[in-house]
Amino acid sequence: MDTNKPAIPKDPEVIRRKVLSDPNTAKIAENLGVPLEEYVNQVIHFVLNPNAEPSLYIVEDEDLRAMGCPPPDADAMGQYIIEAATIAQTANPNRTEFTEAKKPPPVQLSDTPAVAATPGKEDSQLKADLEKARRAGHGRQG
């Protein structure tokens, strides 16, 4: 649990004052096409009820036309979702600075070893070290 986060106020009026003191609040409400007071009330509701799910209303195209609203274009909605997903992905605080351009090149192994092995030639010091380790019990599988 992150102890650095400030406690969430439980008093709606404290939340209201804090939300209204943010200069972006009025801009957000305007961009959403929602009256400021309604927007602030929704923010308060979700601050006080963090597990609440937003309402989703489905309106048939005929009902939209009857209300004087043209129904949205399916292609335009698809493009909007793609753009919103791209923005969300870009704004992700967990993303890293890794890009394919920064990816290290793969290790290239040579077909020719750096040192040629000579059959029948032994490294006496290596052989002695291995024998000593074997006697000491290192390298035992069990």
Q: Model confidence over 104-142: pLDDT tens digits?
A: 777 777 777 667 667 666 778 888 888 888 888 765 554
Q: Calculate the CA 119 to chain-centre distance.
A: 56
Backbone angles phi, psi at 50, to 5 degrees: -65, -20
Query: How far, CA to CA in Å, does 2 sit from each of 15, 51, 52, 99, 126?
Result: 21, 18, 22, 30, 54
Question: Confidence band (pLDDT; 50, 70, 90) for 9?
Answer: confident
Q: Model confidence over 52-108: pLDDT tens digits?
A: 888 888 889 999 899 998 988 889 989 999 998 888 777 766 666 666 666 777 777
- The rounded distance, in Å, linking the Cα atoms of 23 and 19 is 9
